[in-house]
């Protein structure tokens, strides 16, 4: 992407942000280090003991407070930006915040913040610099801004899916009875990097076998795989700042018992039912219901203990959330997971997760690995 293209992309996003802020009753927006700053500016910062805050107000260039050691990141940026830096002495930090707040005149504004990301550290500096300001949750602003992906974003997620699938295919070659969950997770991590994932994964791979697979968010252990185990692998890759998030379930050595085989078949059918229901204008809750009804009607409803999916993009979990009761209507360009599951305590679990993009006429799964229960031996 050329500098001109980048400039246009980020300035278009900022313009759209200002439209949404005005519509939703905010005067300005304050963001600390995280994907929303990257989305709006192309700048990458990590949360650390040194605060970074970007301030956005319609009609003014964005202002950013950042440590001197990261000032090089804003040199040569291709759109107007007001940087305010501070040194290592924490006594100087408050002055930098005050300068930024004063420069764009937000001292008494209603300032939107991401409540899931804004820490007390940054909030205190902002509150001191703007003592008459009112801080309000702006999750709705960022959701409206980021939920619908453009074609470049979708292509980046397709690449993240491709990397993840290739990494799993190579990892599967070494899975057999006697290998541990941790060993599988380690090999999968290596393969993700080998196939082109950025080192900052969306999350650490989940590898859970036997009874452990009944825990949807299990942590890999030293437990060794045994014949008859179900094995859940939940993993993802990162490409150019965008994530994939996939899950497949396998049987080790032989088919498990009849109830677990039935559970695997139901989850596969529920996955496809939800995919077929997803389309522009359809409430997210109806996609969840398509998967949940199938599992409940077969008598396994008590074992489907989470929502059917979540949005995906620069975060592994973002809007839209595919959950029961949600009346959010899907739109072309939204990307989310479809991941029904059945988890029978003390026995085992099954989950099948695909990454789905809403198209003009329906939806498409970006991921195409086999979904049926495959026996590994």
Per-residue burial over 328-365, b = 16 or more CB atoms within 10 Å of its CB, e = otherwise:
bebebbbbbbbbbbbbbeebbbbbbbbbbbbeeeebeb
Which pTM was predicted? Answer: 0.94
**What's the confidence (pLDDT) of residue 7?**
59
CA 205, chain centre distance (Å) = 14
Closest CA relative to residue 236, chosen from 185, 175, 273: 185
Three state DSSP letters for the chain: CCHHHHHHHHHHHHHHHHHHHHHCCCCEEEEECCHHHHHHHCCCCCCCCCCCEEEECCCCCCEEEEEHHHHHHHCCCCCCCEEEEECCCHHHHHHHHHHHHHHCCCCCCEEEECCCCCCHHHHHHHHHHCCCCEEEECHHHHHHHHCECCHHHHHHHHHHHHHHHHHHHHHHCCCCCCCEHHHHHHHHHHHHHHCCCCCCCCCCCEEEEHHHHHCCCCCCCCCECCCCCEEEEEECCEECCEECCEEEEEEECCCCCHHHHHHHHHHHHHHHHHHHHCCCCCEHHHHHHHHHHHHHHCCCHHHCCCCCEEECCCCCCEEEEECCCCCCECCCCEEEEECCEEEECCCEEEECEEEEEECCCCEEECCCCCCCCEEEC
CA 112, chain centre distance (Å) = 21
Per-residue burial over 47-83, b = 16 or more CB atoms within 10 Å of its CB, e = otherwise:
eeebbbbbbbbbebebbbbbbeebeebeeebbeeebb
**What's the confidence (pLDDT) of residue 8?**
82
**What's the confidence (pLDDT) of residue 186?**
98
Domains of the chain: 3-146 (3.40.350.10), 151-376 (3.90.230.10)
Give me the average pLDDT of each 10-residue run along the chain (377 residues). 60 97 97 97 96 98 98 94 97 97 97 96 97 96 97 98 98 97 98 98 98 97 97 98 98 96 98 98 98 98 98 98 98 98 97 98 97 95
**What's the confidence (pLDDT) of residue 5?**
54
Q: CA 233 to CA 31: how far, in whole Å?
A: 34
Burial of 292 (0-12, 13-18, 19+ CB in 10 A): buried
**What's the confidence (pLDDT) of residue 192?**
98
């Amino acid at each position: 992407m050329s500098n001109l293209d980048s400039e246009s992309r980020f300035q278009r996003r900022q313009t759209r942000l200002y439209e949404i802020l005005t519509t939703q009753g905010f005067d300005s927006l304050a963001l600390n280090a995280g994907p929303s700053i990257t989305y709006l500016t192309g700048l990458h910062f990590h949360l650390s003991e040194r605060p970074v805050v970007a301030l956005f107000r319609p009609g003014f260039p964005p202002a950013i407070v950042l440590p001197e050691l990261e000032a090089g990141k804003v040199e040569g940026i291709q759109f107007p930006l007001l940087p305010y830096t501070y040194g290592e002495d924490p006594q100087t930090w408050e002055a930098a915040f005050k300068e930024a707040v004063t420069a764009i005149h937000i001292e008494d504004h209603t300032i939107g913040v991401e409540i899931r990301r804004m820490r007390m550290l940054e909030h205190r500096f902002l509150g001191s610099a703007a003592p008459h300001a009112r801080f309000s949750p702006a999750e709705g602003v960022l959701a409206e801004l980021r939920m619908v992906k453009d074609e470049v974003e979708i292509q980046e997620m397709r690449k993240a899916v491709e990397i993840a699938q290739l990494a799993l295919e190579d990892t599967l070659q070494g899975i057999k009875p006697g290998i541990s969950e941790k060993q599988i997770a380690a090999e999968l991590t290596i393969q993700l990097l080998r196939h082109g994932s950025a080192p900052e994964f969306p999350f650490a791979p989940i590898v859970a076998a036997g009874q452990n697979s009944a825990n949807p968010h299990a942590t890999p252990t030293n437990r060794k795989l045994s014949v008859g185990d179900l094995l859940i692998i939940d993993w993802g890759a990162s490409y150019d700042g965008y994530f994939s998030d996939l899950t497949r379930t396998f049987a080790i050595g032989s088919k498990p018992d009849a109830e677990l085989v039935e559970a695997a078949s139901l989850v596969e059918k529920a996955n496809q039912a939800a995919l077929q229901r997803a389309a522009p204008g359809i409430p997210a809750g109806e996609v969840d219901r398509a998967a949940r009804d199938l599992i409940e009607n077969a008598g396994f409803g008590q074992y489907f203990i989470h929502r059917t999916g979540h949005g995906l993009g620069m975060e592994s979990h973002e809007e839209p959330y595919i959950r029961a009761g949600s009346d959010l209507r899907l739109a072309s360009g939204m990307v989310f997971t479809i991941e029904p599951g059945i988890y029978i305590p003390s026995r085992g679990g099954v989950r099948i997760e695909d990454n789905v993009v809403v198209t003009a006429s329906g939806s498409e799964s970006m991921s195409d690995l086999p979904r049926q229960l495959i026996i590994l031996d």
